[in-house]
Amino acid sequence: MDTHGTIEIYDYFWNPKNDDAEQTVPPILVYADLIATGDQRNIVAADFLLKEYVTKYIREN
């Protein structure tokens, strides 16, 4: 752990829905971050998110 590492905090740029109170970020953003790492374990997790959450999220919009 790097105790002197850089931390970036951003304001959210999406419109949270009232029914998404338990989610902190849209699943599609988590998916994109996981894929962008190129790490195989993250890609497996991203695939799960794609199947369980992202596809549904895209269909709603």
Please give the single-letter amino acid code of residue 23: Q
According to the model, what pLDDT value does residue 45 have? 95
According to the model, what pLDDT value does residue 27 have? 83
According to the model, what pLDDT value does residue 10 have? 75
According to the model, what pLDDT value does residue 60 have? 54
According to the model, what pLDDT value does residue 7 have? 75
Task: Spell out the residues 6+ positions from residue 30 whose beta carbon is closer than 8 angstroms to its own.
Answer: 46, 49
- The tens place of each residue's pLDDT in the chain, 61 residues long, gives 667 878 777 776 767 665 555 557 778 888 999 999 999 999 999 999 999 887 876 665 4
